[in-house]
Structure 1
Amino acid sequence: MPLARIDVAADTSAETVKIIGDVIYEAMTTTANVPANDRFQVVNRHGKDELIYPADGYLGVTYTPKIVFIQVTWNAGRSIEVKKAFYKAVAEGIHERAGIRKEDVWISLIDVQREDWSFGNGEMQYAPTA
């Protein structure tokens, strides 16, 4: 049920992109109770003028051209503690395994309802039951 959109610089290697995707999926399954095999990710590479961030930083965080934007759409209902654990697991995992600064791991979560998904066949697999 989560959909992760991952936006990186054009020169980001395939190996680094794989690591980022793996870390996000692992963090989902270990911290946010996402089921096995529920891995849907879209990766977009961007030119230097297409990843825009504040040159002077924001909220005490500074960024570099290696910034990674991660947007995850998932079912609503996770606690603040779960979300914090997810943010930490992703930032630390990407830093440890890909060498990207934790400051350059930018994450946004979008909470939706279970019935807001179709996994194919034009069906609402998570339809509410009466």
Structure 2
Amino acid sequence: MPLMRIDVIKGHDDAYLKKMLDIAYEVQLATFHTPQGDRYQILTQHEPVEMQILNTGLGIKRTQDVIFFNLVTRPRTTKDKQAFYQQLATRLHDELGISKEDVIVSLVPNNDDDWSFGNGEAQFLTGKL
């Protein structure tokens, strides 16, 4: 169950944002092999001054379309992570015209005992999930 936090600069319409969220979810399903319906996405829109995303010396040029994806997730294989990065950037580019340079991803691994989905229970540990 990845928890996907997505940060963007304000100015995109609802259809664009919905498509972006749908693409990220579909790529998650395909590359992390999560079950259908395992969708936890939180989108935050910022004023331009609130997102200072430089190129870290890689020569990458950012635009106002920059998107930062931060996923808290169970451990994933390197192959699955790389597939996620590649497919996400490609689909966002192909379907929304977002430059691949504007797609940033950070994964934060955690374990089954780090999740409670409600009721004060750790459902991965109790076997409910």
Same-fold call, TM cutoff 0.5: yes
Q: Distance in 2 between matches of 1:60 and 1:81?
A: 25
* Residues 1:70 and 2:69 aligned together: yes
Q: Which runs of 5 or more residues in structure 1 are unaligned?
A: none
Which of 59, 62, 77 does residue 79 from structure 1 map onto?
A: 77
* Residues 1:90 and 2:88 aligned together: yes
Describe the superposition over 1:5-52 as per-residue Cα deviations: whole angstroms up to 9, x where unpaired.
011111122111111111111111111111110000000000010111
Deviation at 1:114, TM superposition (A): 1.3
Describe the superposition over 1:82-103 as per-residue Cα deviations: whole angstroms up to 9, x where unpaired.
1000001111111111111111
Q: Distance in 1 between matches of 2:101 and 2:68?
A: 11
Percent sequence identity is 36
RMSD of the alignment, in Å?
1.5
Superposed counterparts of 1:1-130, under 5 Å: 1-54=1-54, 58-76=57-75, 78-127=76-125
TM-score when scaled to structure 2? Answer: 0.91
Deviation at 1:60, TM superposition (A): 3.0
Q: Which runs of 5 or more residues in structure 2 are unaligned?
A: none
Deviation at 1:57, TM superposition (A): 5.8
Contact kept, 8 Å, 1:115 with 1:128, in 2: the verdict is: no
